[in-house]
Chains A and B, each alone.
Chain A
Amino acid sequence: MASGQPDGKPRVDRRLARETRAARPHFLIGALLGVASAALTVAQAVLLARVIAAVAMGHATLADERAALVALGAVLALRALVAGAFELSGRLAAARVLTELRRRLVQRLLVDRPGLEREERTGELVAAAVQGVDGLETYFAGYLPSLILALAVPVAVLAWVTPIDPLVALIFALTIPVLIAFMILIGVGAQSRTRARWQALTLLSSHFLDVVRGLETLRAHRRERAQVQIIDSVGERYRVETMGTLRLAFISSLVLELCAMLGTALAAATIGVQLTGGDLSLDAGLTVLFLAPELYGPLRAVGQQFHATADGLAAAGRLFSVLDQTDPVAAAGPLAGGAPSPAPLPPRHTPDPRDEPLRFERVRFTYPGSDRPALQEITLTLAPGEFVAVIGPSGAGKSTLAALALGLVHPDSGRVSCGGVDLCAVSPEAWRDRLAWVPQRTKLFADTLGANIALAVPRATAAEIRTAAVRAGLEELIASLPAGLQTRIGDGGRRLSAGEGQRVALARAFLTDASLVVLDEPTANLDPATAGVIGDGIERLAGERTVLLITHDARLAARAQRTVRLRDGAVLAPKPQTVVAV
């Protein structure tokens, strides 16, 4: 029986089953309710058969059968209540599992490995974490409970029927494996034929999405009207192809259905033969007949529930690809798993770039899934208080250098160290406490301007925030705002321009006592005048901190004390002819 599940996608399926650990008691209650439901099914058949047989053969009256009828009513009512409770227990269990799944996903994306998902994929990730996780409810609240019933009910039915009518029990016992075999076949079909249908539907849907997304472009090229015809013909073509595959795919369900129906018909005929021969009482014969559809029902329900989980399983694949990906930070660092595990971490002090140099030594890094190293054999030193600019064309690995300095990723080989301590051996939280970051496009949170500046120092006083804001060149903006620092910005609030956003990032850096400031293309989206203002702010920052500036803006880089050129993941020889050994 255990192997008799229609495993369409065994891998994801098994992975999902592991998630049930979060709600083990709930699933246990569900299983008990399933067993109760199976017992009540048998009780209903027995009582119903007894009453009918007594009336039909023994000419019993309503009054004679009062006790049995009351019992039958009670069983019917109880069965209804158990059915409701069973459904509810499934939903409760699912709620627990989904809460836990989403919590772990968010924990991973925000806390364990921030910034590792590529920017353009955030929308897709949000969809997977919100609708995708919700979509898994059909799996935990529908499919898994249906498995419980598919196990409990046939066992109960066979246990009851075997002593009364071994012949029919044999028919049942023989048809069940055939049924299960065809369900597996359908499951396998889900991987080949039926999946082909899903692919066709998805393809069709993405073609439509593609056209709708590109509507403005189509309009610009006067092609929007022609698309009506194309959508229509693409739809028709897929309909014809899909119906072709469906005609075949549905045959396995046809056989399954035939098997269940003919099982019932065969049982009825067999009971009839035994009755005419006097080998069986009407009471027993009717019990067995009532149980026949109950036997096959839950098995067929499994198949239906499984089909309903198709969307959820697709989302699950996406979720697990995030959850199960080896974590580049945790894998290399001592804080594997995200749980605070202080044991392997010696009580070593966290080095401070204010006093000690930050060194990249023969650092090599390749992004997971990429075949080209982003950085190869980088060697670079930042002395305390130094202002270094790293320049180079896009794709040269500049941003990777920033991610390494921030401790967001660790090198595949070589090491990044501060004061001789490998960053892999330092707690990421403690290290990040020493850093400030100014990205290409600063994220402003839906909060007040003041709270945005005080992101890393929530306890900063208003005066401190104002000082930092003024040093970052935000004085004019604050004066122009009705509520000054209390003005709400971000989504739903006042929208700041790109230049103002970058100044907020600088103000954040000014407010912290970070000793190392990493700037990643801070002026890439700005016009030259605004870029100049930001450059002034960066120079002020550099006066008191170590600064690593990543840019392809030569004018901005010229403000640094030293410039390093990067191309194709390697440091180029500095303009003066000396060759740097790598």
Chain B
Amino acid sequence: MSAFSAGIGATSTSRRRRALALWRVARLRQGEGRRLALTVILGWATVISGVGLLTASGYLISRAAQRPLFITLMVTVTTVRAFGLSRAVFRYLERLASHDLALRVLARLRTGFYAALAPLGAAALEERRRGDLLARFVADVDSLQDLYLRALAPPLVALLVILTTAGAAAVMLPTAGLALAACLVVMALLVPALASAAAAGAGRRQAPARARLADELLEALEGSVELALAGRAQERADRIDQSSRRLIHLGLRDALVGAGATTLQALGGGVAVMAVLIVAIPAVHTGALSAVLLAAIVLLTLGALEGLAPLPLAARRLSASAQAASRLADISSLEPAVSDPPAPRLLPAGAALALSLEHVSVRFSDGTQALDDVSLTLEPGARVALTGPSGAGKTTLAELLVRFTDPQAGTVRLGGIDLRELALDEVRASVVLIAQDAHVFTTSVRENLLLARREASEAELWAALRAVALDEHVRSLPAGLDELVGEDGGLLSGGQRQRLTVARALVSDAPFIVLDEPTSQLDGPIAAELIGRVAHAAGDRGLLVITHRRAEVAAFDTVYELRNGRLTPATRAP
């Protein structure tokens, strides 16, 4: 958590932290160095071909003006054409090489950051904005793919271009080479600095304004009917318009700096041209520079400026990438809430074990008591229900049983062994939790079920679907088990989606099943029927159902009620 608290006011350390985070991302992995070098060299060759085309053309025309036999110019004409051809070809190759690199880097970043996030679980992220944070995590990872392509390669290309063009100019006229090098270096440093300052300011000022606009808009949209009926919609829309204007107004200040950078870039180009002219014209008189090279050296200057053109954008990209990298570093530096013990114990084989909470207490992060001295035992084959009002800590109890979290006091035991002494995989192989908001993946029905147990047979999948009364629906689908369910199960109804996630519990062979609000999307009688079917299908496995509807668990062995963190045996429902 410390990474989150760092950095208000400590700008120099946070800048160093960002740079460090960026460095970790940018450090080249196996094979990437070679590809980056290829990209840079091709980028350089592209610019230099353009410079060569112009310079050779300038020479060609100046020489032609002396009216030699045209045949003597054939070599130059051919050179001009060759540069024209090679520029196009190099550009094509450079684009292929850079995109290939970007895709490879993206794959590496995805696997790397995912592997860092996986042991943390979403629970490590602040609950209220979990969805946002996960989406931003994905967006940040995606945004880093262009790091080499758009942020790191252009400065390297620019450096090579400055060296080559200034060198070439120096061969024609040393002072001109010096003048060109000086102008190009100043431009290469100054303009991107200005552009990135503008971008950083934009990020700093606009991000909060943008977040505020989004919050206001979200609140208003969620309550749009309330506002309309209260006659307050127009007022709210006007207020949001004000926030929108404020955001755009902030952007304009940075647009001014950006326009300044553009002006400066063009001005720098102008200064370079003038400087080269002022140095070169007297040199033509003294004979230090051949008259036919004057046009060539001016065109060389104009061509070299092209190599600097992507720098402002690169600077902006670099600062955006550093921010993304540092956000990702914040997440991957979090400590997992739970981890494997150094020397996990093994569960006794073959025996029927019990799962139990012993005097367990848990506090929420905001200090309120989620569970207060709770004890509960789930025997194999038992049917236990947990009811209670929302927010009473029911979900926390479920998460303890699969060790998504650890209790602050008390112990959770499986077969008498503290869960903290068992490997996480062993705990979750023994207890399967179907959360209320269990995710349905954008794939087929089959893959969504096999998630619970890869080796489950076709017959077992159908049996599970039958148990949750989803078999008829799946059979009616054109592709049956292989039908795709849409993004987050969007092609299923809320109830079907929930049945599918419950079916996973039956596909798995875990001896204990924990269902957290498995029927929140279903109507009363249908919900009770589903619970009954699952209870029957669970056989000799222990089943714990969490629900706020007492009626649907009337037939269970034991019904507990959880209220304000305390567990009481509930009286039988009438």
Contact = CB atoms under 8 A, between A and B. Distances in A.
A6 interface: no
Contact of B228 (A114, A137, A269): A114
20 contacts: A55-B284, A56-B292, A57-B291, A62-B278, A73-B270, A95-B251, A111-B228, A114-B228, A208-B138, A210-B439, A220-B438, A222-B429, A232-B107, A239-B104, A243-B100, A273-B70, A276-B69, A282-B65, A406-B229, A429-B231
Interface string B91-117: 110011001100110110011001101
A213 interface: yes
Interface string B226-255: 111111111011001100110111011001
A276 B64 contact: yes
Contact of B230 (A228, A272, A455, A491): A455
Interface string A69-104: 100110011011101110110011001001100110
B81 A265 contact: yes
Contacts of A497: 389-391
B451 A455 contact: no
A276 B67 contact: yes
Interface in B426-461: 428-429, 432-435, 438-442, 451-452
A215 B228 contact: no
B58 A76 contact: no
A276 B63 CA distance: 9
B214 interface: yes
Nearest to A498: B390
Contacts of A59: 284-285
B267 interface: yes
A499 B435 CA distance: 23
Contacts of A220: 402, 428, 432-435, 438
B83 interface: yes
A254 B550 contact: no
Nearest to A92: B252
Interface stretch (A285-293, A350-358, A411-419, A574-582): A285-293
Contact of A111 (B233, B247, B260, B302): B233
Given A55-B291, A83-B266, A232-B107, A272 B77 contact: yes
B176 interface: no
Interface string A375-388: 00000000000000
Interface in B248-295: 248-249, 251-252, 255-256, 258-260, 262-267, 269-271, 273-274, 277-278, 281-282, 284-285, 291-292, 294-295
B169 to A, nearest CB: 15
Given A110-B224, A110-B228, A224-B118, 6 more contacts: A211-B114, A218-B118, A228-B115, A275-B61, A433-B231, A499-B389
A225 interface: yes
Given A56-B284, A272-B70, A84 B263 contact: yes
Interface stretch (B129-137, B350-358, B467-475): B129-137
Interface residues of B, number: 146
A168 B349 CA distance: 89
A214 interface: yes
A52 B294 contact: yes
A160 interface: no
Given A87-B258, A208-B110, A109 B221 contact: yes
A interface, over-half SS: helix
A163 B87 CA distance: 30
Contacts of A258: 84-85, 88
Contact of B54 (A250, A285, A293): A293
A442 B226 contact: yes
Contact of A285 (B64, B221, B232): B64
Contacts of B256: 88
B62 interface: yes
A28 interface: no
Nearest to B501: A217
A207 interface: yes
Contacts of A321: none
Interface in B451-491: 451-452, 487-488
Contacts of A251: 92
B60 A268 contact: yes
B314 interface: no
B221 A126 contact: yes
A346 B83 CA distance: 77
A443 B117 contact: no
A76 B273 contact: yes
Given A210-B441, A257-B88, A261-B53, A246 B99 contact: yes
Nearest to B521: A394
